[in-house]
A = this chain, B = another copy of it.
Amino acid sequence: MSKVAVKARLLLLAGLAPLALAMPTAVQAQTAASPPLSPQTQECLDCHGDYHPGIVADWQSSRHATTTPAAALELPALERRVSNPEIPEGLRQVAVGCYECHSLNPGRHADNFEHFGFRINIVVSPADCRTCHSEEADQYARSKKANAVANLADNPLFHQLSETTLANQEMREGRLFSLPAAEATRNQTCYSCHGTRIEVQGTREVEVEGEVVNLPRLSNWPNQGVGRINPDGSAGACTACHPRHSFAIAIARQPQTCGQCHREPDTPAFEAYEESKHGNIFDAQRAEWNWSAVPWRVGRDFRAPTCATCHNALLATPDGKQIVPRTHDFGERLWVRLFGLPYAHPQPADGRTHLLRNQDGQPLPTTLAGVPAAAGLIDQAEQGRRQKAMAEVCQSCHGALWVQGHFARLDSVVVQTNQVTLAATQLLQEAWKRKLADPTNLFDEPLERQWVEIWLFHATSARYSAAMGGAGLASFELGWWDINATLGEMEHSMHQRSGKAGK
């Protein structure tokens, strides 16, 4: 669009936009088969189709572009992808376009701004998606993912771990001197997955074809972390798993989607899956599967599970009877928590794990000796319920003996890895006692880093491998070889220093 055209549009919209807003059902046919577009969305597309053709094409490929909420609500319950029966009238009869999502709840959006006569939010949040997907948003809000920022930033120990890991350094008088982690460093690492805190900090001028446009200036942007704090105060980013403007369920069901964050060495779920028989069959047959069907029918739409199959999808038999319901609280079929902490332990009852306290008052689900916190973790009955839900998924394709054997092996590996973590912890405590390391910061000395690697990387890898497959991961790749090699190095190093200290 030329400068002149931009200006013309600007003047035009200044007058017409309010009128258009007053006529939400006035629409313009996209194609014969396509649902009607709102006039506002049509305006968005006219301009942004020139500037950002990729965004528009992506959206055009989406279900949002090819149906209406009204049509979506008419589907049989198991096939329905919207869960709010009270979708506002004004949104029901048009495609779910740019304006339908980027204009919601303007009063709550600190990032709302005037744009060619429209009031637009830059960031679309779970609270906005909730307009149609209410159950999913509510489930998600309860999850550990939605609370991922506070679970890291507001847990003093995790905060210390991340800040120590990300510290910059400079040399002063022949010694390293630790500098605070930079914001860019935080945002490109931990908070890239956990989510950043997006705040509006004045405005920024952007030049578009020679024309200056004023846009809100956002801190810590871009980010699509699972617990992102949005300018409307809500938490999460649905686009973490339903990315960009296709919002495709087909992408959310791909293991690579989860694998953006759940990767070696600290959360090697992707590698465990990739090396498993599940991952093997997925990789060989994925091109033949139906990635978009709702419900997702075992054996008919797919023949081996992905992450989504076991952890959150609505599954059905080939003839469409529900096996397990959909959930967007991703821990709902999990009874034991395998990663991110020294000891595997019962799942927390609340997604806000930063509120947990162990019996020594530390913000951890267990003591450093592995004793589970007295409160805040699910009880045995709930563990049994969750294991049963998961077993129903497994038994779609495996006999009962198989499933029992698999769960029993996982139980035993949890015991084994907790046992060896206890040995590592006691060895470190011995080092602290003998003044070979200083427990003021638990994470900043070679011996302490080796201890962290044992539980955060190696014990976790062995557990993931037991839960999902991937024998190499538990053997020489990251698991037992490294557990014993690192323990051996810790003890050797302590012996070396003690020898010196003893002289």
Indicate whether A171 sits within 8 Å of B430 (C-beta atoms), given known contacts A256-B284, A396-B52, A476-B265: yes
Q: Which residues of B contact A475 (CB under 8 A)?
A: 165, 189-190, 266
Q: How far is the CA of A184 from the CA of B471 in the complex (A)?
A: 12
Indicate whether A303 sits within 8 Å of B224 (C-beta atoms), given known contacts A185-B413, A188-B413, A457-B476: no
Indicate whether A176 sits within 8 Å of B317 (C-beta atoms), given known contacts A222-B402, A422-B170, A488-B445: no
Q: Which residues of B contact A409 (CB under 8 A)?
A: 184, 187-188
Q: Which residues of B contact A367 (CB under 8 A)?
A: none
Q: Which residues of B contact A60 (CB under 8 A)?
A: 299
Contact B263 A477 (CB under 8 A): yes
Nearest-CB residue, chain B, relative to A424: B169
Kindly list the 7 A-B residue pairs having the minimum CB-CB distance in the complex, ordered from nearest. A57-B299, A54-B397, A184-B412, A192-B471, A171-B426, A189-B475, A169-B423
Q: How far is the CA of A303 from the CA of B174 in the complex (A)?
A: 51
Q: Which of A27-35, A79-87, A135-143, A479-487 touches B?
A: A479-487
Q: How far is the CA of A277 from the CA of B51 in the complex (A)?
A: 21
Q: How far is the CA of A395 from the CA of B478 in the complex (A)?
A: 38
Contact A303 B395 (CB under 8 A): no
Q: How far is the CA of A400 from the CA of B204 in the complex (A)?
A: 10
Q: How many copies does the complex hold?
A: 3
Q: CB-CB contacts of A176-217 with B at 8 A, as 1s and 0s?
A: 100100111101111011000000000010101000000101
Q: CB-CB contacts of A43-67 with B at 8 A, as 1s and 0s?
A: 0000000111111111011000000
Apart from the given pairs A251-B280, A256-B284, 6 other A-B contacts in the complex at a CB distance below 8 Å: A170-B423, A187-B409, A188-B465, A215-B400, A215-B401, A256-B280
Q: How far is the CA of A164 from the CA of B485 in the complex (A)?
A: 10
Q: Which of A432-463 contact B (CB under 8 A)?
A: 444-446, 449, 456-457, 462
Q: Does A406 contact B (CB under 8 A)?
A: yes
Contact partner, A298, options B57, B246, B470, B472, Cβ 8 Å: B57
Q: Which residues of B contact A175 (CB under 8 A)?
A: 491
Contact A185 B303 (CB under 8 A): no
**Which of A254, A274, A481 is most buried by chain B, counting CB atoms within 10 A of its CB?**
A481
Q: Which of A2-10, A345-353, A357-365, A492-500 touches B?
A: A492-500
* Partner-B contacts on A (CB < 8 A): 50-58, 60-61, 122, 164-171, 174-176, 179, 182-185, 187-190, 192-193, 204, 206, 208, 215, 217-218, 221-222, 224, 243-244, 246, 248, 250-251, 254, 256-257, 259-261, 263-266, 274-277, 279-281, 283-285, 287, 291, 298-300, 303-304, 317-318, 395-402, 404-406, 408-409, 412-413, 415-416, 419-420, 422-424, 426-427, 430, 444-446, 449, 456-457, 462, 465-466, 470-472, 474-477, 479-481, 484-485, 487-489, 491-492, 496-497, 499-500
Contact B465 A401 (CB under 8 A): no
Q: How far is the CA of A283 from the CA of B253 in the complex (A)?
A: 12
Q: How far is the CA of A287 from the CA of B456 in the complex (A)?
A: 36
Q: Which residues of B contact A274 (CB under 8 A)?
A: 256
Contact A176 B476 (CB under 8 A): no
Please name 15 pairs of A and B residues whose Cβ atoms are closer than 8 Å in the assembled complex, sorted by A: A52-B396, A52-B399, A54-B303, A122-B399, A174-B430, A176-B488, A184-B412, A184-B466, A190-B475, A218-B401, A243-B281, A260-B276, A287-B287, A446-B492, A496-B500
Closest chain B CB from A50 CB (angstroms): 8
